[in-house]
Amino acid sequence: MATGPWLSTMLNKKGIPVLAILLGGRGKAWKGFVILMLSCLWAGTPAFAEKISLRWAILADSTEGMRALDFSGSPIVFSGTALQLYIEHLNNCHVYLFLLDSSNRLTPIYPPQKGYYDYGFPRGPKLVPPGDQSFTFVPPAGTETMFLLASAERLFQLEELTEIFTQNPDQEGQQKLVLQEIEDMLGEEEDKARAAEKLEKVVVKYSGADGIKERKFQAVKVRSSDFYGRKLLIDHR
């Protein structure tokens, strides 16, 4: 179960005409040159068109300050440990984050409000909660589950179900509908998602109570085609 002042408020067809223009009305030598150049370009292009790119981390307080949890397994976090989330959109992908706590209570965490993606995408790193704020896990001990989703397309169905759930947070049926939607999208995506990850050192500057501060840690950088989904399990003790 999680708590904190902040958490309580959260419940390519264009290439065809271009090629025709390049090839039309020209001699064989020119056509051969154009085709050779295009072949070189395509040979160096990744197997997928990258539509999703982001960085994320779940930070936990330690003797060395806030450090990212290692999700190569299920990291251990003790009750009362200060936690903070880091999310950074590196392109225009839609990111969603939910917490299913040890009391089996679902909390939508990101995006922070309804209609967040109506007017574009955020830029720069986001700390959740912002600044020096944090949240903690409180008893009972157990498994805390974070669902992290990123999609090239906006997930309107998930947003609608989430909105209904936040208006009726005590209705178990509404929570089940949101969880089922998430699980259906995750499917067998876990191995694919892990393959799209790499660790990257980041420095995040933010406004704290004493002025501008910075955090240094290793974040997970994601590069994928159209969808990315992780089910992150935390051993809460």
pLDDT at 35 over 80: no
pLDDT at 69 over 80: yes
Mean pLDDT across the chain: 85
Which domain does 172 fall in, by range? 2-9+50-236
Q: Using one digit for the tens of pLDDT, what is the confidence trace for 158-172?
A: 999 999 999 989 899
Domain count, the chain: 1
Residue 112 counted as domain residue: yes
Note whether 231 and 186 are within 8 A (CB): yes
- 127: nearest Cα among 74, 59, 75, 42: 59
User: H-helix or E-strand containing 130?
Assistant: none
Residue 34 counted as domain residue: no
| pLDDT confidence of residue 223 | 96
Residue 23 counted as domain residue: no
Residue 109 counted as domain residue: yes
Residue 25 counted as domain residue: no
Note whether 207 and 192 are within 8 A (CB): no
pLDDT band of 51, cuts 50, 70, 90: confident
Q: Using one digit for the tens of pLDDT, what is the confidence trace for 176-225?
A: 999 999 999 998 778 899 999 999 999 999 998 889 999 999 999 999 98
Residue 101 counted as domain residue: yes
| pLDDT confidence of residue 236 | 98
Residue 28 counted as domain residue: no
Residue 193 counted as domain residue: yes
Note whether 219 and 55 are within 8 A (CB): yes
| pLDDT confidence of residue 50 | 65
pLDDT band of 33, cuts 50, 70, 90: very low
Degrees to nearest 5, angle at CA 201 with 196 and 204: 115
Q: What is the DSSP letter of 36?
A: H
